[in-house]
Amino acid sequence: MINFFREITFFIISPLCLITAFSAAGLWLLYSSKLNSAKLMISITFLSLVIFSQSWVSSIILYPLEFGFTDESEQLETPEFIWTPACYYATNGSVPEISRWNECSLQRLLQAKILSEQHQIPIILTGGNFLLDETVNYAIKAQELLISLGMSADGIVILNEGTSTFTEINALKRSFADVKILAVTSATHQKRVAIMLADANIQAKVKGVDFKSSGELKPFVTMPSASSLDNIRKAFYEYMALLKYLIFGN
């Protein structure tokens, strides 16, 4: 159910939804014999598709999230734990285990492993039963992946609860409120995570991975790209999630 509402939200705030609405309006105007208005709406639809499918446009929209973020907390000289929030793991279909992992999950977990080995400190994994198959626990699956990559189980701490960033940080706060944490999350997600950790009085630094743009602001033109539409959708989702947290606190 959580995933169903998430997908609905993703569609509603996506450029594709806006383009679909413009297309529907254009067809309705055409059906109503309002030809001039229909032509205008069809032109707007086409222009919107061209604009939102440009990589430069998606880079501009992503920039404040991925490159405009500045962690104002003090430098952690000696972090005590690495923490990475959950992303996604597909439980449906007959595919190899590695193919079940979302790109953001793999990048977060692999970077966490690298930092864990670099600093010689454990990794904290959070994430509960929010997947399509609700009998499968995200944190446990993440632990299994890290162990398969050579990590010792002794270097992994499991907090197998949390169905959102907010509830995962609450779980983290209950057990690790007084330690220094190096958090690893997606670049679009890092600002919200930093704010939530600070509000939870957890001393932390945030490191971003899974960048969706290069940070290039100089205008450039490319062939229309479906990935640009998807990246803008993800950016809109994160802006809405950040606004929701700032207003409602969850």
- pLDDT tens for 98-146 read 999 999 999 999 999 999 999 999 999 999 999 999 999 999 999 999 9
pLDDT at 200: 96
β-strands 181-186, 204-209 pairing: parallel
Q: What is the pLDDT of residue 29?
A: 86
Residue whose pair of structure tokens reads 């972090």 in the numeric block: 79
Residue 56 has pLDDT above 90, yes or no: yes
Residues 202/169, Cβ–Cβ less than 8 Å: yes
Q: Between 6 and 138, where is the model more confident? A: 138
Q: Terminal CA-to-CA distance of the chain, rounded, Å?
A: 19
| Lowest mean pLDDT segment, chosen from 14-23, 40-49, 145-154, 234-243 | 14-23
Q: What angle do CA 140, 206, 89 make, to 5 degrees?
A: 30
Question: Which has more confidence, 8 or 241?
Answer: 241
Structure tokens at 114: 């690298």
Q: Where are the alpha helices (DSSP H) in the chain?
A: 2-12, 15-31, 35-52, 55-66, 103-119, 138-148, 165-176, 190-199, 226-248
In the predicted structure, residue 35 carries a pLDDT above the cut 80:
yes
Q: What pLDDT sits at residue 13? A: 67
Q: Is the dihedral of CA 174, 209, 5, 246 positive or negative?
A: positive
Of the candidate ranges 7-21, 39-53, 123-137, 171-185, the one whose mean pLDDT is the lowest: 7-21
* Mean pLDDT lowest among 4-8, 81-85, 107-111, 207-211: 4-8
Q: Tell me the average pLDDT across 135-160.
A: 98
Residues of the chain above pLDDT 90, percent? 72
Determine the pLDDT at residue 78.
87
Q: What pLDDT is attached to residue 238?
A: 95
Give the residue with greater pLDDT, 91 vs 41. 91
Residue type, 139: A
The predicted structure's pLDDT at residue 5: 59
Task: Calculate mean pLDDT across residues 192-208.
Answer: 96
- Domains (range + CATH), the chain: 2-67+225-248 (no CATH), 81-209 (3.40.50.620)
| pLDDT value of residue 3 | 55
